[in-house]
Structure formats: C-alpha cells, structure tokens
Structure 1
Amino acid sequence: MKIGVMGAGALGGFFGGRLAADGHEVWMIARGAHLAAMKAQGLRILSPKGDAVLPNVLATDDPAEVGPCDVILFMVKNGDVETAAAAIRPMIGPDTLIVTCQNGISAWERLGAIVGPGHVVPGVARTPGEIAEPGVIRHTAMLDRLIFGEVDGNPSDRCRRLAEAMAASGTTPIVSDNIMHELWSKFVGQSALASMTTLTRMDIGPLRENPVSARLFYDATAEAYHVGRAAVPDLPESVIAENWDFVEKLPYDMHASMLDDLNRGKPLEHEYLSGDVVRLGEKFGVPTPIHSVLYAALKPMADRLAAGSA
C-alpha cells in the first residue's frame, strides 16, 4: 500500500516506520530538525519489540509531493487538525482512508468537516513513545496498539486491509465495532492524566501513591465518565474501573505527553482534554467541578505558551 503519515512524530514515525520496514511505500510528512534528520540519515526506531533502521525513508514537508495515498495516518497535534486537514488534500484520492489519532474526542469530526466524513475513520493509540532526538523514535513499552473502526460499527474491507498490513509489520491493530466507546474510554482517563501530570509537573507514580492526589485523580476520571455517559448513553460503567486499573499498571515515571510539551515550551492540548470535559458537561447538564479547576489552572500557562509560539 501507499501510506502517508501526516505528523511523523512519535506515533506516526513508529507505525509508519514499521510499515515501511515491511515493504510498503510510506511517506513521512514532518518538519524542522526531525525532517532534516530523516532526510539526511533516515529513521531509527528503538523499541523493546525490536529496533529498526530505515536509511532511505521517504520524508517531506510538502503533501503535494506525495500525491494520492491508499491510507493516511493522521497524527498531528489537536491544535493543528484544521491546518493539516487542508494541507493533505493533494494526498486524498476517491478511496483514501484517513485514520485519525489525536487525544480527545473531536478530531475525527473536525477533520471530516474539511476532507469529507466518508474518508475518516476514528482511531485511538495505546502506544507510549517519544522523539528521543531528531530522526530517532523511542518506543518505551511492549504496548503498541492502534485501535480504529468505522463510526457505524460495521466491518469494512478498508479497515481489514490496513489491520492486516499493520499486523504483518509487527504492530498490534485492533478493528473496533464500537469506536465511540474506545474514544470515550481513552478520553475519560487521558483527560485526568494529562491535566494532573501537567499541572503538578509530576509523573504518575507520586500522584498514584499519595492517597489524596490518587482520590482526586480517580474522581476526575469518574467525572469525565459521567459526561461521556451523557454523550454516549450506552458507555459501560466499567470504563471507570478499567481506566483506573490501567493507571495503576502504568510505569512509575510515566506522564502525559502534554507535560513534555509544557517542559519544551510547546502549545498545550488542554482545550481538547479538560476543556472539552467542561464544555460538554455544560452542554449535557453534567457538573464538572474537578475538570473546571484543572482547566482553569492550566489556562494561563497554556495561553502564555500559545502567545509565545504565535
């Protein structure tokens, strides 16, 4: 298949790199030092599942250079969704499948409003990783799941083909028959994890072992769940316990990527995490006192970072 990776950072570089190593024509769309490094020396993946070196990776900052693709892995930051959606138009053919993979629950709809909803399949990544240095992706755990599926829950050949290709490349695709449940399940936990680790500038371990902060973390997760239950009435109540079980198993020094963004002076995604919890709570009449405080406390630093990057 011909695959474009819009946003070839930690996630896009990992999945795209694995597919390229398996023989697919994969184009990495990136920018800055990361792009320059890939052009000069290729892409390197460091992973407990096995390292990979791609000396001749296809990389560009111009989607028009790529042309129409069978699949686009759309892995930009939430704040770049609209700009990136307009940029990938030259990569979209009549049957192009676009898999979104952003934190939060709104990106797939925002993308579909620009490129056409029929192209878009929502996705959820459960894959920890980072750009260790330009041109080097560090995958930090055995977990490498990409969950995706049609919005209506029906099976499709396009999802099956992508899943088969990803599985053959050594990663773990899961085609979901209820992707809305998957999106909300991650969002319920991620909104609390991102806000709390970023606001406290601490890893999950100390927050989890302190009974006061652990209780706040759990209650923030439950609060987001109740908003989700208003938006998706059949969202299982087990989502709360499953998220907390996931949190308890995370490495002690794990934190949300939003904390990395804060430490690096990059824009934050708080609007699409606690911010969306608050706004959707208002929409559905669900109180969100915890996320309202988390969002309000993050906003001044987020606004300052946004102003600095403008």
Structure 2
Amino acid sequence: MKICVLGAGALGCAIGGVLTEAGHEVWLINRNAEQVDAMNSRGLILRDDGADRAVQVHAATTAQGVNMDTGAVDLVIVLVKSFHTRQAMEAATSLLGPDTAVLSLQNGLGHEGILAEIVGRERVLAGKTYVGGTQLAAGHVIVGTRGKDTHIGELDGRITGRVQRIADTFNRAGLDTTVSDNIMGTIWDKLLINVATGALTGITRLTYGQLYRQPELEACGVAAVAEAMTVAEASGIRLSITDPRDAWLKAGAGLPDEFKTSMLQSLEKGSVTEIDFVNGSVVRWGAKCGVPTPVNQALVACIKGIELGLPGSSSH
C-alpha cells in the first residue's frame, strides 16, 4: 500500500515508521526541513523499549515532494494540528487518485467535515488512536505501539472492504486496529474526556494533581461534559459513557500528579490550542441542534482570550 502521513510529527513518524517496516511505501510530510533532512539522510530513528533502530523512510516538506511515479497514494493519514487541517489538505490534493482514502487520526472533533469539503465525503474515514510518539531530536522518536489500540471506521458506520483492508494493513504492522460501526460515538467518547479537563487546565495552568483537589473545578468540568453529552444525544450519537463524572474520572485515571494536558502544554509553549475542535465543537454542534452550551462557551471564550495574549499571536 502507498501511504502518506500528512503532519508527520512524533506520532505520525511512529505510525509511518512501523508501516514502512511492514513493507509499505510510506511518505512522511513535515514542514520542518531539519526533520525531513535528518530522516532522508540517516533514516528515521525509532526508540522502542529502550533500543534504537533506523528505518529508511521517504520524507518531504510538501506533498509535491512525493514521488508519484509509483502511482497515486492509496491512503492519506491526516495528523496535522487541528487548526492546520484545511490548509494542509488543500495543499495535498495532488496525492489523490480515484480510490484514495483520507483517514483523520487527529484529536478532537470536526476535521471530518473540513476534509469532506476538500476531498469529498465519500473519501473520508475517521479514527482514534492511542499509539504514542515522543520527539527526542530531529528524525528521532520514541514509539509506543504495544498495547495501544486504534479504532477506524466509515462516517456512516458501514463495514466496507476498504476500511477492513486498512485495518488489516495496520494490524500486520503491529498497530492493534479494530473497525468500528460507531466511529463517531468512539470519537465523542474521547472528546468528552478532553472536554472535562483540557480547557480548565489551560485557564488555571494547573497540573492534574492540583486540578483534581479542587471541588469547584470538578463541578465545572463535569458540567461541561454533561452539556456535551446532551448535545451528542440530541445529534443521534451513541455514547458508551453514561455518567458525566465518569469522563472526569477517566481523564485523570492512571496519570501522575504532575501531568499536564496538551492544551496547557501548547499555551506554555506560546502556541494556540485546539480548543475549536474540543469544547468549540460542542458549542457548534449544540447550536445546530438547539442545545444551549453556556459552560463550554465560557471555557472557549477564556482560552481564546489567553491565546490573544500570547506573544506575537493573532486570532486563528
């Protein structure tokens, strides 16, 4: 299979690296020239269980750098930051052939609609992965695939030949993947966990240990989840989480006191967050189905205000 990872950061390199080792032609797209040069010159270095190994990969800074002599790409895996989705996919349409599938494994909710506008809804698949990747240096990542599952599916819940082929490809590469007939429910379940704590930690700058000791913050997080659950149910989404407090508890389960959410980490680095695709998605879906979302609206507004105060920032 010819596969392109659009947004090959640490996670994209981890996934792309093991797919390459399984014998597929994988292209890793990363805008960072240093990262691309390192991978092309000495290979992608994967650290797995403490040991490093080099994988010879194809890397490019743009989709135009992908060799199309071997034909169109069979699968585009989208892993760019949520707010770069439109720009990245619009710049990568040259990869598409008649049967190319586009799979979002991004965090949050809403990428599917953006991708569908650009490539057509019939091409788009959605997914959620718990595979891990941590950047050590340019072209050098820790890969965490053992015991980490991935779920993919068609937006309408059908079990098709193409989604099964992709799952089989992933499984043979050691990526534990299942096909879901309720992928939007799976994505919403994960969204509820992000809704519970992400914005709150970004606003308060608290670690999980501090956050989970404050009853007022728990009440706010649980209220945000309850709103999101009402929106999901009004939108016909099948959730597995039935109690909003469960999402709050799951968000912190097994994590150390010093844990910081990705939203807090982004703000600490001076970067904008993916708030529009987390709590912001709840607000947008609520507006569509007539469900009020005042708690999530307030959380979005606070994060947007913090982003405006970042050095050199502009609204995105």
Would you call these one fold, judging by a TM-score over 0.5?
A: yes
Mean CA deviation greater in 94-103 or 227-236: 227-236
The 8 Å contact of residues 96 and 119 in structure 1, kept in 2 or not, is answered as yes
Residue of structure 2 in register with 1:285 after alignment: 290
* 1:130-279 pair list within 5 angstroms: 130-139=134-143, 142-232=146-236, 234-236=238-240, 238=242, 240=244, 243-252=247-256, 253-279=258-284
Deviation at 1:228, TM superposition (A): 1.5
Rounded Cα–Cα distance in structure 2 between residues aligned with 1:233 and 1:163: 23
Residue of structure 2 in register with 1:7 after alignment: 7
Amino acid in structure 2 at the alignment position of 1:208 = Y
Q: 2:304 aligns with which of 290, 294, 299?
A: 299
Residue of structure 2 in register with 1:40 after alignment: 41
Deviation at 1:190, TM superposition (A): 1.4
Across the aligned residues of Structure 1 and Structure 2, the Cα RMSD in angstroms comes to: 2.5
Counterparts in 2 of 1:218 and 1:181: CA distance versus 1, 3 Å: same
Rounded Cα–Cα distance in structure 1 between residues aligned with 2:289 and 2:206: 32
- Which protein is richer in helix relative to its size? 1
Task: Give the paired residue count.
Answer: 309
Rounded Cα–Cα distance in structure 1 between residues aligned with 2:157 and 2:245: 24
Deviation at 1:242, TM superposition (A): 5.1
Residue of structure 1 in register with 2:111 after alignment: 107
Mean CA deviation greater in 122-131 or 158-167: 122-131
* Partner-residue secondary structure (3-state), 1:44: strand
Rounded Cα–Cα distance in structure 2 between residues aligned with 1:31 and 1:266: 16
Structure 1: which 5+ runs fail to align? Answer: none
* Partner-residue secondary structure (3-state), 1:266: coil
The 8 Å contact of residues 3 and 72 in structure 1, kept in 2 or not, is answered as yes
Rounded Cα–Cα distance in structure 2 between residues aligned with 1:95 and 1:242: 40
Rounded Cα–Cα distance in structure 1 between residues aligned with 2:201 and 2:146: 22
Deviation at 1:52, TM superposition (A): 5.3
Deviation at 1:134, TM superposition (A): 2.2
Mean CA deviation greater in 288-297 or 106-115: 288-297
Deviation at 1:306, TM superposition (A): 9.0
Rounded Cα–Cα distance in structure 1 between residues aligned with 2:134 and 2:90: 26
**Cα displacement string for residues 221-280 of structure 1 (whole angstroms, at most 9, x for unaligned residues):** 222212222222544552746534522424124333222222222222112222222233
Amino acid in structure 1 at the alignment position of 2:90 = A
* 1:12-27 pair list within 5 angstroms: 12-27=12-27
Rounded Cα–Cα distance in structure 2 between residues aligned with 1:8 and 1:204: 28
* Partner-residue secondary structure (3-state), 2:177: strand
* Partner-residue secondary structure (3-state), 2:303: helix
Counterpart check, 1:93 vs 2:97: yes
* Partner-residue secondary structure (3-state), 1:173: strand
* Partner-residue secondary structure (3-state), 2:75: strand
* Partner-residue secondary structure (3-state), 1:149: strand
* Partner-residue secondary structure (3-state), 1:308: coil
* Partner-residue secondary structure (3-state), 2:313: helix
The 8 Å contact of residues 145 and 174 in structure 2, kept in 1 or not, is answered as no
**Cα displacement string for residues 24-49 of structure 1 (whole angstroms, at most 9, x for unaligned residues):** 1111000223223323332223345x
Rounded Cα–Cα distance in structure 2 between residues aligned with 1:171 and 1:128: 11
Counterparts in 2 of 1:169 and 1:63: CA distance versus 1, 3 Å: same
Mean CA deviation greater in 229-238 or 261-270: 229-238
Rounded Cα–Cα distance in structure 1 between residues aligned with 2:265 and 2:115: 25
* Partner-residue secondary structure (3-state), 2:154: coil
Rounded Cα–Cα distance in structure 1 between residues aligned with 2:264 and 2:197: 10
The 8 Å contact of residues 2 and 71 in structure 1, kept in 2 or not, is answered as yes
Rounded Cα–Cα distance in structure 2 between residues aligned with 1:305 and 1:47: 36
Rounded Cα–Cα distance in structure 2 between residues aligned with 1:243 and 1:47: 31
Q: 1:127 aligns with which of 131, 141, 149?
A: 131
Mean CA deviation greater in 153-162 or 240-249: 240-249
Deviation at 1:149, TM superposition (A): 0.3
Counterparts in 2 of 1:107 and 1:233: CA distance versus 1, 3 Å: closer
The 8 Å contact of residues 8 and 28 in structure 2, kept in 1 or not, is answered as yes
Deviation at 1:175, TM superposition (A): 0.9
Rounded Cα–Cα distance in structure 2 between residues aligned with 1:159 and 1:306: 43
TM-score normalised per structure 1: 0.89
